[in-house]
Structure 1
Amino acid sequence: MPKPLILVTNDDGITAPGLRALISYMKDLGDVFVVAPDSPQSGMGHAITLDSTLFSKRVQMTKELSNVQEYSCSGTPADCVKLALRELLDRRPDICVSGINHGSNSSINVIYSGTMSAAIEAGIEGVPAIGFSLCDYSWDANFSHAEDFVKKIVSEALSNGIPKDVVLNVNIPKLSKKEIKGIKICRQAKANWKEKFDKRTNPMGKDYYWLTGEFELLDKGEDTDEWALSNGYISVVPSQFDLTAHHAIQDINNWDLNEH
C-alpha cells in the first residue's frame, strides 16, 4: 500500500516555525506535499484571489526535508489549497493538515482564521482536513510538546476517517507535555471580541487606525473549547461549513414573505 499523501499548509507563511514543525511530524506518517503562503496571511479568513495573478514556485527550505515537495504561493491560505488540488498535486491527498498556527483559533476566532479556512477549503473539496493551533502567539513558540498529540490525532483521522462535511479544529494549550491532561472533544464556545480602534495621525496629517480589543467569553459551559484549554486539555471541535441555521427555518417560514 502506498503511504498516505498529506497536504500541509498554513497561514503564517512558508518560513513559519509552526509549519516547519508540522511538516517534520507529518513526514513520519506519510508522503508530505506543502503549499503555503509566501508571506504571513493571518486573519485572512476564507479570502481568495480574484483580481490579481497568483504565483507559485518550488522551494527547499531545509536540506533535511529534501524529499518533501514544497511550494510557496503568493495568495491566501484558501488559494494555496485550491492551487494544490487543481494544479500542483498529481493525486488526491488523503488528508490536509493546516498549521501549526502561532496563536489560538478557538471559539469565535475560527471565523477569522486563515489556518482553519485552508482546512475548510480542503473539506469543501471532500478531503479530510484538520487545522492545528498553539495558544502561543510568539514566533519563537515551542511546538515540541505538541508532536505526539498531533501525530495521534492525524493517525486516528487517517485510520477512522472524518465525518463527511466536517473539519476538525484543534487547539493546543501553552503548557509543557506533562501538564497537558489529555484531549477533549468539544463544542465551540460562545464569545466575541470587544473591539475598538486606536486612532492616530501621521506626519502628513492623515488619520489612521489600529484595531485593538479584548476577548469576551460569554459561555460558562464545561463542554467548550475555551473550558478545555483553560483546564489543561487539547480541544478538538468538529466544525462544519454548512452555515445554515437549521433551527431557524421554521420560524422564518412563518413570516408573511409571500404576501403582497
Structure 2
Amino acid sequence: MQNTQKPRVLISNDDGIKSGYMLALANALVPIAEVYVFAPEEEQSGVSHAFTVRRGLSVKKVNLGRDCSSVEAYSMSGTPADCVKFALGHFASHGLSTEGAGPGPFDVCFSGVNQGENSGVSSLYSGTVAGAREAALWGVPGIALSLHGVTPNMLEFAKVFAERVVQNRLFEKIPAGVFWNVNFPKATAETFRGFREARMALGMFTDHYSHEGGLWQLDGDKLWEKQSEDSDDYLLHQGYATITPHRIDQTDEKSLEVINKMLAGNG
C-alpha cells in the first residue's frame, strides 16, 4: 500500500534562524511535508561539528511569517549540530518537555540552503554539512544544500531539488551512515549545466594571512581547475550542481592492515 502520509521534515542551517534562504526552503516544502525548523539564533558558519556541553542551551519558538504559518520553528543558542541533535534526540520524542510527547520520528533532514559553497574540503569546516552529518548519526537521511553564488536562479533549483527529494521520497535511497552534500554553482538558468554525482575534492585552500591593527586576518581561495575532473570542486566550477555522498565511517581500511602488522611486530 502506498504511503500517503506527508513526510516529516527537519530543516536546520548555519546562517541562522533569520536566513531568507532557509525560509524559502521551508516555504517550498510546506505544501508537501510536515515541516519543523531548528536553527541557530546567530550565524554559525565554519563551526564544523562543534556542539555544546557543560553549559545550557536556550530554545525559543519563532514565528517565520504568514507563508510558513504551519511550520513549527525554533531558534537555539548553539551550533547547527546542537540544533539537529536536540531536534532528533529529544524534541522528536518529548517535544519541549522532559516527559511529554513529541511529533515523532523525522523522515529527512535538510541543512541549508547555505550562502556559500561547501564542496571539497569546505565540507570539513562547514556547520551546514555538520547538520546533515548529525542527522546521519541519528539514522535520519541528511542532505546539505549550499549555493556557490548568491543567485535567485540557483535558489530556485535548490528548492525544486528539495521538493523532488521529498515528493518522490528519494531520501529513502540514502543508505544508513551516509549523507548527501549538494552544492549549486554560480550560474544562471541558461548557463546551469544540470546535476552530476561527484567525489569530494581534496585540494586545500590557498590560505594566507594579513596583519593589520595587531590582528591576523585569514583569506584565500581554491585552485578549482586543478582538482580532479570527477570532483565536486571542479564540476561546481564548470556550472554543475554536485551531489557528493559522504560516509560517517572515516576508517581507512588499508591503514588497519598496516597498524595490525605493526602491533604484531611484523612491520
Q: Which residue of 2 aligns with 1:233?
A: 240
Structure 1 residue 200 corresponds to structure 2 residue 212: yes
Q: Which residue of 1 aligns with 2:124?
A: 111
Q: 1:218 to 1:255 in 2, by over 3 A?
A: farther
Q: Which residue of 2 aligns with 1:31?
A: 34
CA RMSD of aligned residues (A): 2.2
Q: In 1, distance between residues paired with 2:264 and 2:44?
A: 41
Percent identity of paired positions between Structure 1 and Structure 2:
34
Q: Which residue of 1 aligns with 2:83?
A: 80
Aligned structure 1 segments of 4 or more residues deviating by more than 3 angstroms:
153-160, 216-220, 256-259
Q: Which residue of 2 aligns with 1:130?
A: 143
Q: Which residue of 2 aligns with 1:47?
A: 50
Judge conservation of contact 2:119–2:183 (CA < 8 Å) in 1: yes
Which residue, 153, 166, 179 being the options, matches 1:167? 179
Structure 1 residue 216 corresponds to structure 2 residue 229: no
Q: In 1, distance between residues paired with 2:264 and 2:35?
A: 52
Q: In 1, distance between residues paired with 2:10 and 2:265?
A: 47
Deviations 1:129-174 (A, max 9, x none): 1000000268x99623432233224445546431111000000112
Q: In 2, distance between residues paired with 1:142 and 1:182?
A: 11
One-letter amino acid of the counterpart of residue 12, structure 2: T
TM-score, normalised by the number of residues in structure 1: 0.89
Structure 1 residue 70 corresponds to structure 2 residue 82: no
Q: In 2, distance between residues paired with 1:196 and 1:19?
A: 31
Unaligned runs of at least 5 residues, structure 1: 202-206
Q: Give SS of 1:191's match.
A: coil
One-letter amino acid of the counterpart of residue 235, structure 2: A
Judge conservation of contact 1:190–1:219 (CA < 8 Å) in 2: no
Shift in Å, 1:2: 2.1
TM-score, normalised by the number of residues in structure 2: 0.87
Unaligned runs of at least 5 residues, structure 2: 93-101
Report how many residues are paired.
Answer: 253
Question: Which structure features the higher share of strand residues?
Answer: 1
Structure 1 residue 248 corresponds to structure 2 residue 255: yes
Which residue, 193, 217, 223 being the options, matches 1:181? 193
Which residue, 5, 22, 25 being the options, matches 1:22? 25
Q: Which residue of 1 aligns with 2:99?
A: none
